Amino acid sequence: MGSFIPDTLVEEIRNRADIVEIIGSIIPLKKAGANYKGVCPFHQEKTPSFVVSPLKQIFHCFGCGEGGNVYHFLMRKKGLSFSEAVHLVADRYSIVIPHTGSAGKKFLGRKEIYTLNERFAHYFHNILMKGALGESARAYLSERGISDSAAVEFQLGFVPDKEPGGARRIVTADINKDVVEKAGLYNFYRNGVANRFAGRLIFPIQDYQGRIIGFGGRALNEQQQPKYLNSPETAVYHKSGTLYNFHRAKESVKETGYFIIVEGYLDLITAYMAGFKAVVAPLGTALTASQLNLLKRLTDHAVLVFDADNAGLKAALRGVEVLMEGGMKSSVVILADGEDPDSLIRAQGAGAFQRHLDNALDEVDFFCHVSERKYDLTRAEGRIKAVGELLPLIAKEKNALRREE
């Protein structure tokens, strides 16, 4: 660090960065018209007077007068030098600063992983879409009602058990074995290499900018375990900070005003293709605080759609809890036993799903629903237990009016 960085590069890095994304990862921001507002991190205040402009890529506090671009923010907030702030932003956006420091090496690797993932996605998408190798996977998709246009839109792919030269085709002069290993696609053994997703339908997972950061794989053979498998954590893929389909959903949330959160890849694709475009899915985990931060940049309302079984209710409960802690409004759709968004939309159409969304339970009604199922509320003992469980949850509600209710 501390090295000389040419002005043109400083500018380029600033142009490629998103000030809302960076400041929003440090302090909570809320959309207010064309700008974002938050509580100023540089002076004590209760009413937000700290404004970030996505258009001008600057911040300004009307309370204390602090302001500037993304570098100024990071220098002031994190106590960095100018050059350190530039490096930090470059690293975040995988921009290589031609310098041999350790930070330079780190993002060199990241850039190569993105490139490798793109090639991998493209290669296995082609296998899925045409030729004998993809036949079984195509049959599975048509059985599940996933159209060709959905497969293209989501760049679905298939990894056959025996790849025609797979790793060898991808490992080229500019991408070495080391990067392939770091990307988490292949496992290397003493006597060979095996694709982690062999025999699986694959779903490329993108970050908020649409770059492929990892993959989800679904087993097509019922004997294959586990049914779903994701990329391991890599330099670019962090499961807990990623929401599947977020980069597409963010374009549509302006119209709906809320995000729809579903559990699985196929539920998501069916909903998306039926016109519910502001839909996202956590990747095999309960909703996390950093996923919530992604959602919160664009809206303060999410509708959780979960199965009626106990696992579904538990995930929904956890989701509502996280949303409440983060100051977001949540509603919950609980589907009938054995139903998921995929089967519902197929059997009853988009209108039926929309009615479920319109009639979603708010937090309080949802908690009551859960308690009813769990405790016998006609008996005093059951009521006491239920209230004991709900009070700590309700205390997390940040909005005083809603908490009171």
**64 touches Zn ion (CB under 5 A):** yes
Instruction: Considering only the stretches 56-64, 183-191, 208-216, 305-313, report the one whose residues sit in contact with Zn ion under the rule CB under 5 A.
Output: 56-64
* Interstrand relation of 259-261 and 301-306 (parallel, antiparallel or unpaired): parallel
Give the footprint of Zn ion on residues 141-160 (CB under 5 A): none
Token digits of residue 282: 């956590």
Q: Which is nearer to Zn ion, 44 or 223 (CB)?
A: 44
Q: Judged by CB under 5 A, which of 54, 63, 327, 382 binds Zn ion?
A: 63
Instruction: Evaluate whether 263 touches 306 at the Cβ level (below 8 Å).
Output: yes
Instruction: Considering only the stretches 22-30, 54-62, 166-174, 225-233, report the one whose residues sit in contact with Zn ion under the rule CB under 5 A.
Output: 54-62
Q: Residue 170 Cβ, how far from Zn ion at the closest point, in Å?
A: 50
**27 touches Zn ion (CB under 5 A):** no
Nearest to 26 by CA among 293, 207, 236: 293
Nearest to 276 by CA among 299, 256, 247: 256
Q: Residue 19 Cβ, how far from Zn ion at the closest point, in Å?
A: 16
Q: Judged by CB under 5 A, which of 20, 23, 29, 61 binds Zn ion?
A: 61
Q: Residue 50 Cβ, how far from Zn ion at the closest point, in Å?
A: 6
Q: Judged by CB under 5 A, which of 6, 43, 98, 172 binds Zn ion?
A: 43
Q: Which is nearer to Zn ion, 39 or 262 (CB)?
A: 39
Q: Which is nearer to Zn ion, 5 or 64 (CB)?
A: 64
**77 touches Zn ion (CB under 5 A):** no
Q: Judged by CB under 5 A, which of 17, 40, 88, 229 binds Zn ion?
A: 40
Q: Residue 46 Cβ, how far from Zn ion at the closest point, in Å?
A: 12
Q: Which is nearer to Zn ion, 26 or 175 (CB)?
A: 26
Q: Residue 293 Cβ, how far from Zn ion at the closest point, in Å?
A: 21
Nearest to 124 by CA among 200, 233, 40, 212: 200
CA–CA separation, 30 and 229 (whole Å):
34
Q: Residue 20 Cβ, how far from Zn ion at the closest point, in Å?
A: 17
Side-chain-facing half-sphere of 87: CA atoms under 13 Å: 19
Q: Residue 64 Cβ, how far from Zn ion at the closest point, in Å?
A: 3
Size (the chain), residues: 405
CA–CA separation, 74 and 83 (whole Å):
11
At 87, is the secondary structure helix, strand, or coil?
A: helix
* Interstrand relation of 329-334 and 301-306 (parallel, antiparallel or unpaired): parallel
Query: Rg of the chain over CA atoms, in angstroms?
Result: 23
Cα 68–chain centre separation: 29
Instruction: Considering only the stretches 60-68, 104-112, 306-314, 333-341, report the one whose residues sit in contact with Zn ion under the rule CB under 5 A.
Output: 60-68
- Helix orientation angle between 135-143 and 102-129, rounded to the nearest 10 degrees: 80
Q: Which is nearer to Zn ion, 39 or 159 (CB)?
A: 39
Sequence-distant (≥ 6) Cβ neighbours of residue 266 within 8 angstroms: 144, 146, 218, 342
Q: Which is nearer to Zn ion, 42 or 228 (CB)?
A: 42
Q: Residue 22 Cβ, how far from Zn ion at the closest point, in Å?
A: 17
Instruction: Evaluate whether 35 touches 304 at the Cβ level (below 8 Å).
Output: no
Q: Residue 360 Cβ, how far from Zn ion at the closest point, in Å?
A: 37
Q: Residue 63 Cβ, how far from Zn ion at the closest point, in Å?
A: 4
CA–CA separation, 16 and 28 (whole Å):
22
**52 touches Zn ion (CB under 5 A):** no
Q: Tell me the number of residues near Zn ion by CB under 5 A.
A: 6
Instruction: Evaluate whether 199 touches 219 at the Cβ level (below 8 Å).
Output: yes
Q: What residue has token string 């293209």?
A: 152
Instruction: Considering only the stretches 34-42, 200-208, 270-278, 283-291, report the one whose residues sit in contact with Zn ion under the rule CB under 5 A.
Output: 34-42
**42 touches Zn ion (CB under 5 A):** yes
Phi and psi, residue 14, nearest 5°: -65, -35
Binding site for Zn ion (CB under 5 A): 40, 42-43, 61, 63-64
